[in-house]
Structure formats: C-alpha cells, structure tokens
C-alpha cells in the first residue's frame, strides 16, 4: 500500500474535522476520495501531503511517516491544488523550470525533467506563453505538469476539473487516466463529478469527518443503491419496482410477459450511492 491511514484524527479546538478514519491506497491505482463540502477531504489531504499536523493516529505515504519523514514524503508526491499556484508572468516552461530547481534538479537533468513533464501533460503548444494568459483548461494541464516535474510516485489531484467546460473536462480526464495507466503512478483524486469517480479502482466516501463507505464502484453500487424496474402494461397500468439485484427483474417481467407494452431497467449510479450516504445529514464546515 502506498498510503496507509490508521485512526487518523484532526481537531481545531472543540471542532473535530477528522474523526479517527482508516483506509489504505494500493500502489498504481486510481483512488477517489469523495465527500461533501466540510466532510474532511481537504483536511485529510493536507495531512497526507505534510501541509497540516495531525492531532492523533497514524498516516504513512510510501512507507514514510508524514510527520517524522515529512521531507521524504514530499519528495515522492506531486500535488495539484484547487487554486492556481504558479507565477502568472512566467511562461509555462519557466514555471516548470523554477519548480524543478526546488527539487534540486539542475543542468541537463532539469531541462530533461521539464521537457518530459511538458510532453506528458500535453502543454507543448503553449509552453512559451505566460501562465496568466492561458485558458482554464491550459492552466490545469500546466498545474499537472508542475506536479510531474520530479517524477512523483503519487499524484494528488484536488478537484482538478472543477470549473472547466464539458469537453475540456473530458480531455483532462483522458489525460489523467492515460498518465495513471501508462506510468503506473498512483493517483489520489477528489472530485464532485461522480462520473469521474466511476472510473476509479477504489473509492472512499467521507462525511462529517468519518469514513462512510470504502470499496470499488461496483461494490458500492451493489451495497448502497438499487436498480429500478419500470413497466407499462397494455392496459395502461404502470408498475415500478426497486431491485436488490438486476437479475431480480427477470421473474417480475416473466409474470407480465404477455401484457407488457414497455419495459425499462434503470441502473443505480454513484450519484445514488453518494446521496444515499450523505443526503439529509447535517454538513459541518
């Protein structure tokens, strides 16, 4: 496991933002961390990336304790924050060069690292343009390139496609998935778009500082939501049934076989899972 979290807690005075959570992330996987605003996502990520001190519990990244071995953790991770952190006046390539130098790279090694990040993130077409002159999608690609300069084993992406138009979001997502598959890099993703999380190998849902569910997309859908069978009969009657599993529809349909005018099965989604786990609960910011 590249990330191991055991009974991790964080309190701000009397407010407990994270309440003894535990989970693990497999190396080379695409892992999604889902939760409403104020659920504890950012607090957890800030602890894992050594930006915030924990109150209690344990957290290790790449086998290194996030407190005792903070610098070693920083050397093996890349982070793409929600907010832009690059210099708007410098060009894309200049920003990447500055970033690489902070990791001790210089000369040919630095130049090669920058060009490699430019290629992987697909920013070569605008690498000589100032960061401040780029579109939203181009900035996000550049942010990812910045995080890749030192070839991290683990990439944290905190809502990387928020605010982007649908086409740019799709292109960004394809790039992220290709990066993860082709390089074997572990990707730790937070997102508000459930269709993005559906591509994950593993998902944790956190709410009010507690882990509410952990599993593959299929496992979560099977446990926390239902398929829905809708039928219209030839006399106009309408029938709607929740299904514990999709194959339960077969016996119901068979019972009306000669009377069915229309039939539809709607599969449960991760949106349903997320709402069933969090809807109606008080949010804590």
Per-residue pLDDT of the chain (285 residues; tens, 9 = 90+): 999 999 999 999 888 999 999 999 999 999 999 888 788 888 999 999 999 999 999 999 999 999 999 999 999 999 988 777 889 999 999 999 999 998 889 999 999 999 999 988 889 999 999 999 998 889 988 998 999 899 899 999 888 877 778 887 888 788 888 888 888 899 999 877 777 788 889 999 998 899 998 999 888 888 888 788 999 999 889 998 888 778 888 888 988 888 899 999 888 788 888 888 887 444 333
Structural domain count, the chain: 2
Spatial CB neighbours of 126, under 8 Å, sequence gap ≥ 6? 92, 134, 138
Q: Is the pTM of this model over 0.85?
A: no
93 and 177 share one domain: yes
149, 93 in Cβ contact below 8 A?
Answer: no
53 and 193 share one domain: yes
Range of the domain at 151: 3-219
Rounded to an integer, what distance in angstroms lies between the CA atom of residue 176 and that of residue 168? Answer: 12
What's the CATH number where 73 sits?
3.40.50.300
132 and 176 share one domain: yes
231 and 213 share one domain: no
162 and 35 share one domain: yes
E-strand stretches of the chain: 3-12, 15-25, 30-34, 56-61, 64-65, 77-80, 154-158, 186-190, 202-207, 210-215, 227-233, 238-243, 260-266
Q: Which of the listed residues 196, 219, 242 is the one where a domain comes to its end?
A: 219
210 and 265 share one domain: no
57 and 145 share one domain: yes
161 and 272 share one domain: no
39 and 123 share one domain: yes
174 and 250 share one domain: no
Tokens representing 46 are 């800030």
């Amino acid at each position: 496991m590249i990330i191991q979290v055991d009974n991790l807690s964080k309190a701000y005075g009397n407010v407990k933002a994270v309440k003894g959570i535990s989970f693990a992330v497999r190396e080379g996987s695409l892992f999604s961390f889902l939760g409403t605003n104020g659920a504890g996502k950012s607090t957890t990520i800030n602890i894992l990336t050594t930006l915030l001190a924990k109150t209690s519990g344990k957290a290790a990244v790449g086998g290194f304790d996030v407190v005792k071995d903070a610098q070693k953790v920083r050397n093996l991770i890349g982070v793409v924050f929600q907010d832009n952190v690059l210099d708007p006046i410098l060009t894309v390539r200049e920003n990447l060069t500055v970033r690489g130098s902070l990791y001790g790279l210089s000369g040919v090694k630095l130049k090669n690292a920058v060009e490699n990040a430019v290629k992987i993130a697909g920013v070569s077409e605008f690498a000589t343009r100032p960061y401040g002159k780029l579109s939203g999608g181009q900035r996000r690609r550049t942010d990812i390139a910045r995080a890749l300069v030192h070839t991290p084993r683990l990439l944290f992406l905190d809502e990387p496609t928020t605010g982007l138009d649908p086409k740019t979001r799709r292109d960004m997502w394809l790039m992220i998935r290709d990066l993860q598959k082709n390089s074997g890099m572990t990707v730790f993703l937070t997102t508000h778009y459930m269709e993005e999380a559906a591509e994950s190998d593993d998902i944790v849902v956190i709410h009010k500082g507690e882990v509410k569910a952990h599993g593959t997309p299929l496992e979560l859908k099977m446990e926390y939501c239902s398929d829905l069978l809708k039928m219209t009969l030839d006399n106009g009657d309408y029938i709607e049934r929740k299904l514990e599993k999709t194959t339960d529809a077969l016996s119901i349909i068979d019972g009306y076989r000669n009377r069915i005018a229309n039939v539809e099965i709607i599969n449960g989604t991760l949106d349903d899972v997320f709402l069933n786990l969090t809807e109606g609960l008080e949010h804590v910011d």
